C-alpha cells in the first residue's frame, strides 16, 4: 500500500499513524486504542465497530431511545413555535387595541373641534 494513500485513509477515518522502532501501528481517535494490524480493511472494520459503540454511548441515554429523543426535540420545536404564535397574537391584539384607542382619540378631537367651532 503506498504510504500517501494510507495517510489519506488515516485522516479520513480518524486514525493517527504511529511508528515505533520501525513498527507501524495506528491509534484510533474514537477509542484511543492502538491497533497493530494496520491493514486498511482491518482498520476499517475496527472503525465500524468503534463507531457503533460510541454512537450507542453518546446518543442513547438511560432514560430513552433515539426515537424518544427525536420526539422530544420535535416537541420542543412545537412549543417554541406555539409561544412565538402566542407572542404574535398578543402583538396583534395590542395593535388592534392601539388602533381602537387612536380612533377614539380622533373622535374625541373631532368633537372638541366641533364644540370650538360652535363657540366661535
Residues that bind Zn ion (CB under 5 A): 28, 30-31, 50
Residue number with CB closer to Zn ion (31 or 69) = 31
CB of 40 to Zn ion, least distance (A): 15
Of 79, 83, 76, the closest CA to residue 68 belongs to: 76
Name which of 28 and 40 has its Cβ closer to Zn ion: 28
Q: Which residues contact 117 (CB under 8 A, 6 or more apart)?
A: none
**CB of residue 85 vs Zn ion: minimum separation in angstroms?**
46
Please say which residue, 28 or 69, places its beta carbon nearer to Zn ion: 28
Tell me how far, at minimum, the Cβ of 89 lies from Zn ion, in Å: 52
**Do 6 and 26 contact (CB within 8 A), yes or no?**
no
Looking at the chain, which runs of residues are DSSP E strands? Answer: 15-20, 23-28, 34-35
Amino acid at each position: 500500500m503506498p504510504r500517501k494513500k494510507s495517510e489519506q485513509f488515516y485522516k479520513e477515518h480518524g486514525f493517527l499513524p504511529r511508528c515505533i522502532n520501525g513498527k507501524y501501528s495506528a491509534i484510533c481517535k474514537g477509542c484511543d486504542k492502538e491497533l497493530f494490524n494496520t491493514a486498511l480493511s482491518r482498520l476499517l472494520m475496527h472503525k465500524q465497530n468503534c463507531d457503533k459503540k460510541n454512537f450507542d454511548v453518546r446518543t442513547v441515554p438511560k432514560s430513552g431511545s433515539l426515537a424518544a429523543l427525536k420526539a422530544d426535540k420535535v416537541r420542543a420545536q412545537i412549543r417554541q413555535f406555539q409561544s412565538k404564535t402566542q407572542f404574535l397574537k398578543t402583538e396583534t391584539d395590542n395593535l388592534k387595541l392601539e388602533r381602537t384607542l387612536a380612533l377614539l382619540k380622533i373622535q374625541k378631537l373631532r368633537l372638541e373641534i366641533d364644540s370650538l367651532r360652535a363657540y366661535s
